[in-house]
Amino acid sequence: MNSYRRLSCSDWKSGLNVVLTRVKPWTNCCRCPEAAPPLSRSQATAAEQTPGSDTGEKPRLRAVDLARQVQQEWRKPRAAEPPLSGQQKRVMELKRFSLQLQHVHPNVLAKHLHRAVLYQDKDVVVINKPYGVPVRDDCGATSISSVLHVLSKMMDGMKIKSDSQLLPCLRLEKETTGALLLARSEEVVKHILNLHRNNQVQRKYWVITVGVPVPSEGVIDIPIIEREVTGSRPHYKMALSPLFKMNDAGDGVTKVRAHRQAHPAVTKYRVLESSSGCSLVELQPFTEVKHQMRVHMALALTCPILGDHKYSHWSKLAPQKLPDHVLGKLGLEQSKIRYVPLHVLARQLILPGTNGADVNVSCPLPKYFTQTLNRLHLTLLDKKRQ
């Protein structure tokens, strides 16, 4: 028969201490006031991230600490940067200009075009096209055609029920700046195209050429055809396809058969001013062939347009090669000449008006064009031309 003994208070406490030593140190007991309370999840995470903890891990950087470090870096005095030379400033200016509006939000381009309206009536609108922006949606970048609906609403005062539209009539190349004609309806587009086919629309361009055309004025009537240029980098260019060539004796010309794929191309030119081996030339194309003026100036008159990096060389793709004295006038080195933009300005647009009076719009000279004229000392004596 087992005998039972009544436990005293001291025996009960000693037994309890034995049990507590066999459990984990952090286990809580409701009857033991000495046991530590459990840590919450946030407190445990903070304890793990505390610098100098036993984990040995690198403490994480808090956002407030990062902000303080950035502020301290900005407050540190910076070393004075060396001043830019005139040539470096010129190159940076040309870089900014060449990328000015090519990759902008459509609404930004529409606002710019709204400020660049030169003329408007119930049938047509003439705007000052910026450099480097394509007219059609061919390049994937923001084009003028893609924002014409926004421009039309801006011109109507942002009316919700406005049904007006703007349509491009006569194209301009991406690198050409100046007067761009827009029509307000499909009927007006057809009417203007009919006038253009009958040479009733006059478009005059100003270009700066490397070289002086001889004679100082004339008409270039040489068809143009697209040809492949073979070599290490095969590519296509527009080229001349003349109907006459020198005979074997070299004392006359003989007629050759016209190529079926050649396009008739006629350009009238007139030298307005020449200096420093360069010229300001007025061009009036009577036909509309791709790169017509550039090909006629570079290949027919051997006076390529300044900034024409495509037709300054026939057999290769390379930046335009300029004489040393022209580089000196422009304040550039040959290695930086690729930043020089194409100097073609759609200067004047004349078309018959519906009320009997002609629409005559002249476009102001862009800043880069004026700067080049001043550097090359191509100052027009007749201020009315400006």
Q: Where are the domains of the chain?
A: 101-198, 202-223+261-377
Q: What are phi and psi of 239, to 5 degrees?
A: -140, 165
Q: Which of 2-11, 82-91, 317-326 has the lowest mean pLDDT?
A: 2-11
DSSP secondary structure of 311-374: TS-SSS--PPP--HHHHHHHT--GGGGGGPPP-EEEEEEEE--TTSS-EEEEPPPPHHHHHHHH
- Helix (H), strand (E), coil (C) string for 197-216: HCCCCEEEEEEEEECCCCCC
Cis peptide bond N-terminal to 59, omega within 30: no
Instruction: Assess whether pLDDT exceeds 70 at residue 381.
Output: no
Q: How does residue 167 score in pLDDT terms, banded at 50, 70 and 90? A: very high
Q: Give the span between the Cα atoms of 124 and 130, in whole angstroms.
A: 19
Please report the beta strands in 89-151, taking only residues with DSSP state E, as ranges in sequence order. 117-120, 124-129
| Superfamily for domain range 202-223+261-377 | Pseudouridine synthase (3.30.2350.10)
Length of the chain: 386
Q: Phi and psi for 304 in degrees, rounded to 5?
A: -65, 155
Topology of the domain covering 101-198:
Pseudouridine synthase (3.30.2350)
**pLDDT of 303 higher than 50:** yes
Distance CA 134, CA 144 (A): 6
pLDDT band at residue 104 under the 50/70/90 scheme: confident
* Best CA proximity match to 257, nearest among 266, 239, 248, 244: 244
**In the numeric block, which tokens belong to residue 139?**
């390049």
With tokens 């040309």, the residue in question is 94
Specify which of 20-24, 240-244, 269-273 reaches the highest per-range mean pLDDT: 269-273
The pLDDT, as a whole number, for residue 97 is 63
- Cα–Cα distance measured from residue 241 to residue 289, given in angstroms and rounded to the nearest whole number: 13
- Report how far residue 49's alpha carbon sits from residue 46's, in angstroms, rounded to the nearest whole number: 5
Task: Give the alpha-carbon dihedral of 153, 154, 158, 160, to 10 degrees.
Answer: 10
CA–CA gap between residue 268 and residue 300 (Å, rounded) = 12
Which residue reads 């003989």 in tokens? 254
pLDDT digits (tens, 9 = 90+) for 261-297: 999 999 999 999 999 899 999 999 999 999 999 999 9
Tell me if domain 101-198 and domain 202-223+261-377 are identical in fold. yes
| For the chain, percent of residues with pLDDT exceeding 70 | 76
Examine the pLDDT at 146 and tell me if it is beyond 70. yes
Kindly indicate the confidence band of residue 370, based on its pLDDT and cuts at 50, 70 and 90: very high
- Both tokens of 146, joined, read 């893609």
